[in-house]
Amino acid sequence: MKKTTILIITIISLIVFLIGSFLFVKKARENRTWPFNSTLSNYFPKSIKNFGYKITNPDKIILETHFYDIEAKYYAIPSSNAVGNGGGLNVFDEKNLLTILDNGELFLFNIDNLDYTKIHSSLLINKYLSIRDTYYSNGELIVFGVSEVNEECSKISLDKYSINKGVNNNINLKYEKLIWSSEKNCNDPQVNNAGGRVIKFKEDFFISTGYFTPNINSGINPFPQDYNSSFGKILKIDNSSVRTIFSVGHRNPQGLFLYDDDYIISSEHGPKGGDEINLILYNKNYGWPCKTFGTLYSYENTGNKKEIWPILSDLEKFGCDKGNDYTDPLFTWTPSIAASQGMQYKSTYFEKFQNDIILGSLRATSLFRINLNKDLKVINMERININERVRDIIETQDGKIAVYSDGGSIILFSKINKN
């Protein structure tokens, strides 16, 4: 009788513990509290993080925006490597989205059947320390990644692959060539601070690169102002693989996209505050680290006198000069939202969103709908809280919005029809 009682108590205690743990994790996910907002979670195995996200994923959520009620449905990518940062999301064809994970795994997501097909190719698997972004068009796949040179050094590379459907709709992936690679960085390279994005604009590729070193001293280093460095730049790579510095003075640009097919827009992480969205123009200097709307990480608004930002004379060794002309951003965010990838929405499906910028964010876990006037000035902005860290965002061919989240899911946003 005693053994039976102990067994029953043990089973009940285990059930209570499991239910309590699930409710705790679920609430933490909803409130973005530990472990979902902590740098400590970066040290968790991806399998554990994936499990945490997967069991707490809602089937769908309803978002109230100014113009629409929107339904967001979650579709977990069937790989534990889907969580974290890096990778890319592209429209593959009328029915499929091409998802490439940070480690090189490939999936097609069918937006009609709402299921995944894994592309069985080892060509990209662990070839890069991190795949930062991908570009796909008409069988051409461009991979922008960080590659290891040796144990101490890394570089950024842009590679071309061909990808197409073969017999029985099997997907064939083939390496074509190296388009471009940067010089190596042996200054404790940090993947998360490498940028970056790749787009195609008027037959050339444009890539955004970050300062590529740790957050020591709030990310202040000489690369972004150094014309001999590929880091902290927007670069143009032409058909002959010739690199041209298009603009300088960038800290950590996590978004790069076209506006009206004529202009390049970037979004960029500031230090503590000062995240930016920029209109990228040739030969302009966007200021980092000489000018920012953010502050040092060490600055605290406590009433005590602390340095907000170094004086110009202390920044001269980083390439800053009082004679330089710095281009102001279109808009800045303080506190930081950790701006990520964006796009110009062009469909009539969300008619009231047409031609607006839809910008993702990491820290703010929101989408930002941004309206520009004919002079390319920000005149209106709506924050749409989705409670997810947005890594990539695209418009599907039927006009819906698809997000690749750090939680390892594709999230599809569609209108709720009201009768």
The CATH number of the domain where 316 resides is what?
2.120.10.30
Look at residue 71 and tell me if it is in a domain.
yes
Band (pLDDT 50/70/90 cuts) for residue 204 is very high
pLDDT digits (tens, 9 = 90+) for 47-67: 777 777 878 888 889 999 999
Q: What is the structure's pLDDT at 34?
A: 60
Domain range spanning residue 165?
Answer: 32-415
pTM to 2 decimals? 0.92
Map residue 27 onto helix, strand or coil.
helix
Look at residue 3 and tell me if it is in a domain.
no
Mean pLDDT of 42-46: 68
Look at residue 15 and tell me if it is in a domain.
no
Look at residue 13 and tell me if it is in a domain.
no
pLDDT digits (tens, 9 = 90+) for 287-315: 999 999 999 998 877 666 678 999 989 99
Q: What is the structure's pLDDT at 14?
A: 86
pLDDT digits (tens, 9 = 90+) for 76-110: 999 999 987 889 999 999 999 999 999 999 999 99
Q: What is the structure's pLDDT at 75?
A: 97
pLDDT digits (tens, 9 = 90+) for 168-184: 778 899 999 999 999 99
What is the distance between the alpha carbons of residues 221 and 232, in angstroms, rounded to a whole number? 10
**Non-local CB neighbours of 53 within 8 Å, separated by 6+ positions:** 29, 76, 83, 407, 408, 409
CB 235, CB 244: distance < 8 Å = yes
> What whole-number percentage of the chain has pLDDT above 70?
93
Mean pLDDT of 404-415: 96
What is the distance between the alpha carbons of residues 161 and 213, in angstroms, rounded to a whole number? 28
Look at residue 406 and tell me if it is in a domain.
yes
Band (pLDDT 50/70/90 cuts) for residue 39 is low
Look at residue 287 and tell me if it is in a domain.
yes
More confident residue, 7 or 408: 408
Map residue 69 onto helix, strand or coil.
strand
Band (pLDDT 50/70/90 cuts) for residue 15 is confident
Look at residue 23 and tell me if it is in a domain.
no
Q: What is the structure's pLDDT at 220?
A: 96
Strand spans (E) along 241-377: 243-248, 252-259, 263-269, 275-280, 284-285, 331-333, 339-344, 357-361, 366-372
Buried b or exposed e, range 184-207, using 16+ CB within 10 angstroms: bbebebbbbbbbbbbbebeeebbb
Return the sign of the alpha-carbon dihedral for residues 221, 208, 394, 359. positive
Number of domains within the chain: 1
What is the distance between the alpha carbons of residues 252 and 215, in angstroms, rounded to a whole number? 11
Look at residue 78 and tell me if it is in a domain.
yes
Mean pLDDT of 230-252: 97
